[in-house]
Amino acid sequence: MTLFGVGAVNVYADSSASIKVDGIESMQQQKKVIKGIVKDNAGDPLIGVNVYNRSSGVGTITNIDGEFNLEVKAGDEVELSYIGYTPQKIKITTSTTNINITLVEDTEVLDEVVVTALGIKRSQKALSYNVQEVKGEELLGVKDVNFVNSLSGKIAGVNINSSSAGMGGATRVVMRGTKSLTKDNNALYVIDGVPIFNANGGGLSQNNEYADQPRGEGISDLNPEDIESMSVLTGPSAAALYGSSAANGVIIITTKKGVAGKPKITITNQTMFSNPLTKPKLQSTYGAGLDVESGKKLYRSWGDKTTAGSFKPSDFFDTGVTAQTSASLSVGSEKNQTYLSLGSANSSGIIPKSSYDKYNITVRNTTKFLDDKMTLDFGLSYIKQKDKNLIAQGKYGNPLTTIYTYPRGENFGLLNDYEKFDQLKGYDVQRWEEYGWGDEGLEMQNPYWVLNRNPKTNKKDRYMMNVNLSYDVLDWLNLSGRMRLDNSNNKMQNKYYASTRRTFSPENGRYRMIKEEYKQYYADFLVNINKHWGEEWSLSSNIGTSFSDIRSEGIGADGELLIPNFFALTNINKDYGKTEFIEQGWHEQTQSIFANVELGWRSMLYLTVTGRNDWASALANTSKKSFFYPSVGLSAILSEMFTLPEAVSYLQVRGSFASVGSPIPRSLSIPTYKWDAQGNSWETNSYMPIDDLKPERTDSWELGLSSKFWGNRLTFDFTWYRSNTKNQTFQIPISPSSGYTSMFIQTGNVRNQGVEMALGTNNTWGNFSWNSNLTASFNSNKITKLIEDGEFKDPQGNAINFEQMSQDGIGSSEFILKKGGSMGDLYTKNQFDRDDFGNIKLTAEGSPQTKNEFVKEGSVLPKWNLGFRNDFRYKDITLGVMLSARLGGIVLSPTEAILDGFGVSKRSAEARDKGGIPNGTSHIDPEKYYKTIGQTGGVLGEYVYSASNVRLQELSLGYYLPNKWFNDIAKVHVAFIGRNLWMIYNKAPFDPEVTASTGTYFQGVDYFMQPATRNLGFSVRVEF
């Protein structure tokens, strides 16, 4: 470039990142005001260009004539930036007085490149489907131990529910509605182009109150500081290249690499303090009742008013503390770059004796050789994790059943001394029944005994290694191969000390230990073509093959101890009738070929066709050994085709169709045998052999538009979709006279349709900038087909009638699937018996009468999900605010029912104060009323609530400390941060967005669920 003059400088700014203005080299420190004009390529002035003195922190914007004045001194660096144009930097010298600069349109801004399936970078304007990208820094402002929770509200079309297990718990991520009636509906995760097996332990084994407590998931092992960006492919069309894993959508994670140039060191810390956000409203007015015959106190707070006792259930909870610390180094030359990071996350939960600890080490190196034609990218990660006493809900292993229901007025402090030494037995025993309490219908124990003497721990060691080798054969032809190894070893232990309630443990105690090993091997080879023929035609294609092998092995034992409280496998009583020796595992493999062809015309019209064929081991012994998944899409850039109003910078319309799916359940087509520990023998399959099974298939249509206005200052995206998921696999009972107890059939159809919208703005006025993004998504879920009458016959020729499917529930509630309903329909089956006037009928004793009648209460699935994020910056002050909302759906709280039945709820006390429950012209005795309805088998329809809620989800207020404080060698940002701070609107007695299970069903049900937390803290980020 050519610079003219000494006092005045004319600069034509191209794609260079920095411009030095030559002049007199004696650098004096006097301040002065320089003038300038900023124009575009056509010579027209640019209005509102941000002119920022990076050295002093002072800035301004250009006026209507593109002019600006700015105070500077020699040596300062001035940056000019404008949406849609390449930003430029200018070094000020003593001779600089005027700057006349021409900014060039940044084609990468208006024509963004995003990471899509298989880690392939594609021009966003060529995409025929919706891809939403989240930058890594958007996850770091207010971090979560499981970074997936940080996506909530930031992506349209994605429903994210965090586990009530708290820190380290799994996350439920469902895109565009639940689709499969019998299989997992969680999204697929892809790291640097490679799909990973996400061992998710957050799904409950049963949809009822007896379920085991959950575990975490594999994706939460990642350090959020290592993430460069994430692309979210919500629709099957976007994910079609992943074939049998693509139906539920994909989250593509791109991790950080080393960067050429000056070494960069980043050190961060975020510390959060947590307290319960929502808790049951409990009373402290009425004490324990008395048994009329024995005179003993009852474990029910239906007695007289009391002033004794000062225990408040909220006093049980600790203040949770979570500290996340990370240090990273990025260093490299043009030929070789290295990235190294260390991370830790240490958390103690609000439940005493619960904890989560995670440690990460990551190394990545990228090297170019053979005249930069070949690139070798190698990465290695190690994760060490341990968690203890993760509690979601339920009455097994849950201290909250006792904490919430303990009789008011009684001395709760006695329970802190939860054990005492028994001279005859020779070991400490639980102190609970000596206080006169039993299991109380909830398998209760001393809550501190549960936490200290029934501990549940999980230890994990995981290492991941990946290598990517690519070679540029020609300027338009590239060959690449990738390999990834992902192994994890888990050790799970449940210890039950002697004198634990016999429901859970024999007399001497019980020990359960399982060692699990997960292994994943993945490899692929791709031929990548990117060819242009003049300005008319372009071809982008990827042709490849992949191999995925995943296996799980588990071994362990579960049984009574010979020596009390000595927890070792060698101390398990092999002769105890319930002792179980565990050996379990599975192995699956998929081999695939795939191709993606994108044909472009004049950079304004793009046709994309993809195809993938999978050979899956799940299809062994079936008539169909493989299955093919196609997709086709069309994208048109209207802003290139037509002359649109000047305000419209970019306008794209797109449409696509895809057919994707998932294989049949593992081992269904392979004869397997189950070991019967009680009968000491192998059990054979009891279902009828099958050979004609097809993969579950989802056919999806998608239409959308993307638009940008005023040079990217305002963006709007809209997508409509519709999908049908067919070939659902059902196991149905048949007559034993056929020689089998059940058979598998494939039918059913679940339809999801909805819209996704995103509205964003990015503006700068001098020293002030504002970035905002509003997301909204609507989904309608409907079962259009289950099993039609006469569609199938059993082996004896009898027509199979199957009008509905039950997915269990708690007490008198049940999830039922019917044609015309949704996958979240919740029913209750015990109702009030009312007279013709609507009054509740009473028994002779004055208790409410009930009747057995199924009533659909509604669906637990949301209708709308909304997120509204705003980021502000004024000079060195930053402010981030995010609101999120869920509209529609219902939730159920058996917890509230039981609290009413035990007389400890605030509602039950208020009813007593008012003289009873109004019923026509009379009142019902509160104790008789709530004892009737207040149980899991009671009238649970009285405990159904709206799930709609609005909350302040994230808040951060930060400040960049002056660089001069650190001799200009460090950039330091400090912030006050908060997460889940304020429930602005919520009618439910718990957080509707928290779930006890990350599986398909059992959403929206609270059964002594651990409360959601309000989190406040601070963060520090230092960059050298």
The pLDDT confidence band at residue 827, using thresholds 50, 70 and 90, is very high
Does 52 lie in the same domain as 88?
yes
Instruction: Give me the pLDDT at residue 334, please.
Output: 85
Contact, 434 vs 445, CB < 8 A? no
Q: Is residue 480 part of a domain?
A: no
- CATH code of the domain in which 129 resides: 2.170.130.10
Instruction: Give me the pLDDT at residue 22, please.
Output: 40
The pLDDT confidence band at residue 898, using thresholds 50, 70 and 90, is very high
Q: Of the ranges 242-251, 571-580, 789-798, which is most confident?
A: 571-580
Spell out the residues 6+ positions from residue 210 whose beta carbon is closer than 8 angstroms to its own: 394, 395, 396
What is the dihedral sign for C-alpha 288, 290, 291, 296?
positive
CA–CA gap between residue 745 and residue 963 (Å, rounded): 68
Instruction: Give me the pLDDT at residue 596, please.
Output: 92
| Stronger pLDDT, 587 or 52, i.e. the higher one | 587
Q: Is residue 796 part of a domain?
A: no
pLDDT tens digits, 150-193: 888 889 989 888 888 888 788 889 999 998 888 888 888 999 98
The domain containing residue 185 runs over which residues?
Answer: 113-255
pLDDT tens digits, 29-80: 578 888 888 887 767 777 768 788 888 877 787 876 788 888 888 888 888 8
The pLDDT confidence band at residue 21, using thresholds 50, 70 and 90, is very low
Instruction: Give me the pLDDT at residue 677, please.
Output: 65
Instruction: Give me the pLDDT at residue 365, please.
Output: 96
Mean pLDDT of the 599-610 span: 92
Does 208 lie in the same domain as 84?
no
Q: Is residue 160 part of a domain?
A: yes
CA angle 968–969–972, rounded 5-degree value: 85
Alpha helix segments (H runs only) across 424-481: 447-453
Does 144 lie in the same domain as 76?
no
The pLDDT confidence band at residue 137, using thresholds 50, 70 and 90, is confident
Q: Is residue 238 part of a domain?
A: yes
Q: Which residue has the tokens 């969680």?
A: 186
Does 164 lie in the same domain as 61?
no
| Stronger pLDDT, 109 or 895, i.e. the higher one | 895
Beta bridge partners of 488: 462, 518
The pLDDT confidence band at residue 111, using thresholds 50, 70 and 90, is low
Q: Is residue 117 part of a domain?
A: yes
Mean pLDDT of the 443-464 span: 95
DSSP for 196-226 reads ----B--S-SSSSTTPPP---BGGGGS-GGG
Beta bridge partners of 708: 650, 715
- Global pTM value: 0.86
Mean pLDDT of the 99-117 span: 69
Phi, psi of 222 (to 5 degrees): -70, 145
Does 131 lie in the same domain as 82?
no
Does 122 lie in the same domain as 70?
no
Instruction: Give me the pLDDT at residue 25, please.
Output: 38
CA distance to 54, 88, 109, per residue, from 81 (Å): 12, 7, 12
Contact, 494 vs 512, CB < 8 A? yes
Does 97 lie in the same domain as 220?
no
Instruction: Give me the pLDDT at residue 799, please.
Output: 77
Does 125 lie in the same domain as 190?
yes
CA–CA gap between residue 78 and residue 51 (Å, rounded): 7
For residue 906, with 0-12 CB atoms within 10 Å meaning exposed, 13-18 middle and 19 or more buried, which class applies?
middle
Contact, 997 vs 211, CB < 8 A? yes
Contact, 286 vs 306, CB < 8 A? yes
**Long-range contacts (CB closer than 8 Å, 24 or more residues apart) made by 795-799:** 795/688, 795/734, 795/738, 795/739, 795/740, 795/743, 796/735, 796/737, 796/738, 798/735
Q: Is residue 121 part of a domain?
A: yes
Residue (of 628, 857, 698) closest to 177 by Cα position = 698
CA–CA gap between residue 501 and residue 497 (Å, rounded): 10
Residue (of 170, 125, 148, 140) closest to 232 by Cα position = 148
pLDDT tens digits, 692-711: 777 888 899 999 999 999 87
Given 204, 223, 255, the domain boundary residue is: 255
CA–CA gap between residue 67 and residue 90 (Å, rounded): 16
Q: What is the largest CA-CA distance in the chain?
A: 107
Contact, 290 vs 297, CB < 8 A? yes
Instruction: Give me the pLDDT at residue 569, please.
Output: 94
Mean pLDDT of the 853-877 span: 94
CA distance to 5, 280, 912, 997, per residue, from 900 (Å): 85, 11, 12, 25
Q: Does residue 685 carry a pLDDT above 80?
A: no
pLDDT tens digits, 927-980: 999 999 999 999 999 999 999 999 999 999 999 999 899 988 999 999 999 999
Does 204 lie in the same domain as 76?
no
For residue 962, with 0-12 CB atoms within 10 Å meaning exposed, 13-18 middle and 19 or more buried, which class applies?
exposed
pLDDT tens digits, 214-223: 667 888 899 9
The number of angstroms, rounded, from the C-alpha of 2 to the middle of its chain's C-alpha atoms is: 53
Spell out the residues 6+ positions from residue 141 whose beta carbon is closer than 8 angstroms to its own: 880, 954, 956, 975, 977
What the block records as the tokens of 672 is 């397997």
pLDDT tens digits, 515-544: 999 999 999 999 999 888 887 899 999 999
Mean pLDDT of the 381-403 span: 90
Residue (of 664, 730, 658) closest to 694 by Cα position = 664
Q: What is the mean pLDDT of the chain?
A: 87
Beta bridge partners of 586: 552
Does 212 lie in the same domain as 85?
no
Instruction: Give me the pLDDT at residue 355, please.
Output: 94
User: How many separate domains does the chain show?
Assistant: 2
Strands (E), 766-911: 768-785, 804-806, 813-818, 825-832, 850-859, 864-874, 877-887, 890-892
pLDDT tens digits, 811-824: 899 999 999 999 99
CA distance to 422, 732, 957, per residue, from 763 (Å): 72, 59, 19
Given 230, 255, 280, the domain boundary residue is: 255
Does 227 lie in the same domain as 140?
yes
Going by DSSP bridges, is the β-strand pair 804-806/768-785 parallel, antiparallel, or unpaired? Answer: unpaired
pLDDT tens digits, 76-105: 888 888 756 778 888 888 777 788 888 876
Does 244 lie in the same domain as 129?
yes
Instruction: Give me the pLDDT at residue 7, please.
Output: 40
Q: Is residue 214 part of a domain?
A: yes
Given 255, 279, 307, the domain boundary residue is: 255
CA angle 619–515–161, rounded 5-degree value: 70
CA–CA gap between residue 131 and residue 114 (Å, rounded): 8
- CATH code of the domain in which 57 resides: 2.60.40.1120
The pLDDT confidence band at residue 13, using thresholds 50, 70 and 90, is very low
Cβ neighbours, 10 Å, residue 403: 20
Q: Is residue 878 part of a domain?
A: no
The pLDDT > 90 percentage for the chain reads 54
